Amino acid sequence: MTESAFARSEVDDMPANRSDPSVDKCTNETVKLLFGRSSCRDFLDKKIPSDVLQLVLEAGVHAPTAGNLQPYSIIRIENAETKQKLAEMCEQNFIGKAPVLLLFCLDLHRNERWAGLEVAPYTATNSFRHLWVSFQDTIICAQNICTAADSVGLGSVYIGTVIDMPADIEAMFHLPKGVFPVVLLCLGYPKTRRQPRKKLCANSVVHLELYREMEDRELLRAFNEKYEGERVAVAEDRLETILNVCRAVHGEGFAMKCAARIKADGYINRAQHYFGLHYRADLMPKGNDKYLKIMEESGFNCFKKYRPYSEAVKKQPKRAT
């Protein structure tokens, strides 16, 4: 596992578990498309026709957006050298072989320029509410494009590792202040269609009126059904890593408890794999202050107390007469 917390690991190389049988009951083509969607990491060497790509992009910008403000931008990437550079940065070789990459960015810069040209007040880069909603809108746009791509025979996969090098991404694509990279999407015609991975069922994630705390047995059954047959073999390096993570996060006693569980089971269970090896619990929180600093340097000050102009003027020292 590299220092890149979201780097691809052996979890992506394991065969997909069986798909949800509900897909076979779908008569609505859109719903069937959503049930059957799976990530594509193996693309044909085939160019996406410009009209097809334009259709997919137009579907994205027609996504729901708060106040119809569309606070996002998409960098369309087809240059081979740029794609290969991103593949190296994200440590995922297939990125360089995708015909098209789309970098989705939260963009408050464009609306700030618009407000300035129309002589309107603007504080979105100082507002957590704007940041929160703009992030939502960016992801909604990306998912619209992902679904539209599937509908015209394309395959896609999200790449979250751009969050590990936001400053490098900003410099690489000349992103101005007020623009921040969120996620990368690879697009192309798939060589093969993988079976979709099984998900937690709706009954496990949908709560009626109030949040319902599942009983332990029910919760474990839900996850066991989702990951049925998926086990990670115990290897010395894996076991050492998991126990070191346990020690760093919860102490020696918890590490010994985890070791005993793995020994009793004879394998590394899915939760241990995700949080002990893949999305490591000791690495994921690291760098929080670094990311806040990067966001501030990118023009986002919503994690600081806001001082309006009128307050700043009042605090200025009076000039001597």
- Read off the pLDDT of residues 226-256 as tens digits, 9 standing for 90 and up: 999 888 999 999 999 999 999 999 999 999 9
Strand runs (DSSP E) across the chain, as ranges? 72-77, 100-107, 155-159, 179-188
Q: Is residue 276 part of a domain?
A: yes
pLDDT at 36: 87
Q: How confident is the model at residue 318 (pLDDT cuts 50, 70, 90)?
A: low
- Examine the domain organization and report whether 181 and 237 are in the same domain: no
Q: Which DSSP string do the residues of 200-242 spell out, in sequence order?
A: --HHHH--SSS--PPPHHHHHHHHHHHTTT--B---HHHHHHH
Q: Is residue 79 part of a domain?
A: yes
- Examine the domain organization and report whether 254 and 170 are in the same domain: no
- Examine the domain organization and report whether 45 and 180 are in the same domain: yes
What DSSP designation does 268 have? B
Q: With pLDDT > 70 as the criterion, what percentage of the chain qualifies?
A: 89
pLDDT digits (tens, 9 = 90+) for 60-115: 999 999 999 999 999 999 999 999 999 999 999 999 999 999 999 999 999 999 99
Q: Total domain count for the chain?
A: 2
- Examine the domain organization and report whether 165 and 254 are in the same domain: no
- Examine the domain organization and report whether 147 and 254 are in the same domain: no
Number of helices (H), then strands (E), in the chain: 13, 4
Structure tokens at 286: 């690291």
Q: Is residue 250 part of a domain?
A: yes
Q: Is residue 207 part of a domain?
A: no
pLDDT at 132: 95
Q: Is residue 46 part of a domain?
A: yes
Q: Is the pLDDT of residue 35 over 80?
A: yes
Q: What is the mean pLDDT of residues 5-30?
A: 55
Q: What is the mean pLDDT of residues 107-131?
A: 95
Q: How confident is the model at residue 22 (pLDDT cuts 50, 70, 90)?
A: low
Q: Are 280 and 40 in contact (CB under 8 A)?
A: no
Q: How confident is the model at residue 138 (pLDDT cuts 50, 70, 90)?
A: very high
* Angle, in degrees to the nearest 10, between helices 50-61 and 128-151: 140
* Angle, in degrees to the nearest 10, between helices 128-151 and 29-36: 100
Q: What is the mean pLDDT of residues 13-23?
A: 51
Distance spanning both ends of the chain, measured CA to CA = 65
Q: Is residue 71 part of a domain?
A: yes
Q: Is residue 264 part of a domain?
A: yes
- Examine the domain organization and report whether 170 and 251 are in the same domain: no
- Examine the domain organization and report whether 176 and 294 are in the same domain: no
pLDDT at 317: 64
What is the C-alpha separation between 92 and 40, in angstroms, rounded?
13
Per-chain mean pLDDT for the chain: 89
Q: Is residue 25 part of a domain?
A: no
pLDDT at 1: 35
In the listed set 160, 188, 216, which residue is the last one of a domain according to the structure? 188
pLDDT at 306: 86
More confident residue, 16 or 266: 266
Q: Is the pLDDT of residue 10 over 50?
A: no
**What's the CATH code of the domain at 97?**
3.40.109.10
- Examine the domain organization and report whether 256 and 173 are in the same domain: no
More confident residue, 6 or 296: 296
- Examine the domain organization and report whether 45 and 178 are in the same domain: yes
Q: Is the pLDDT of residue 271 over 90?
A: yes
More confident residue, 315 or 29: 29
Structure tokens at 182: 């969120």
pLDDT digits (tens, 9 = 90+) for 195-229: 888 999 999 999 999 999 999 999 999 999 999 98
Q: Which domain holds residue 251?
A: 231-303
Q: Are 174 and 298 in contact (CB under 8 A)?
A: no
Q: How confident is the model at residue 8 (pLDDT cuts 50, 70, 90)?
A: very low
- Examine the domain organization and report whether 237 and 131 are in the same domain: no
Q: What is the mean pLDDT of residues 46-55?
A: 97
- Examine the domain organization and report whether 180 and 54 are in the same domain: yes
- Examine the domain organization and report whether 85 and 141 are in the same domain: yes
